[in-house]
Amino acid sequence: MTKVMIVDDAAFMRVSIRNILLKNGFEIACEAENGTVAVQKYAESKPDIVTMDITMPEMSGLDALREIRKIDPNARVVMVSALGQEAMVREAVLSGAKGFIVKPYKEDIIVDTLRKLSNA
């Protein structure tokens, strides 16, 4: 089963994503509420995929993405963005994000994205 790390500063989002993923046969490796914790936990738990919120305190999702890619060049990170953050998402794409989804999203969008990534 695919192990996912959920990174978002909002507890609501973490719970929401967790429920969707569990319902659809994914395993939750761990969760993180900011970039710093995310990088740390990535090294510890080595998830298959990471869902990364873009705007977070301490360290932004973009920076966390870069740090994680340094640790693991094959890391599969999906950015979770809101409309209006196009520039940040472009940066993320250039920094190696494997994909992105835009809030608000329907359940099947995130599930399809992660499934496609985990089969790659």
User: Does the footprint of another protein cover residue 12 (CB under 8 A)?
Assistant: no
Query: Applying CB under 8 A, which part among 5-13, 40-48, 57-65, 106-114 lies near another protein?
Result: 106-114
Residue of 10, 11, 15, 23 that binds another protein (CB under 8 A): 23
Per the rule left: phi > 0, alpha: psi between -120 and 50, beta: everything else, 107 is alpha
Name the burial class of residue 23, with classes exposed (0-12), middle (13-18) and buried (19+) by CB atoms within 10 angstroms of its CB.
Answer: exposed
User: Does the footprint of another protein cover residue 48 (CB under 8 A)?
Assistant: no
User: Does the footprint of another protein cover residue 46 (CB under 8 A)?
Assistant: no
Residue of 10, 11, 57, 90 that binds another protein (CB under 8 A): 90
Per the rule left: phi > 0, alpha: psi between -120 and 50, beta: everything else, 25 is left
How many helices (H) and strands (E) would you count in the chain? 5, 5
Q: In the complex, what is the shortest distance from the CB of residue 82 to another protein, in angstroms, rounded to a whole number? A: 10
**Closest to 71 measured CA to CA, from 49, 89, 46, 105:** 46
Applying CB under 8 A, the residues found at the interface with another protein are: 1, 23-25, 81, 83, 86, 89-90, 93-94, 98-102, 106-109, 111, 113, 115-116, 119-120
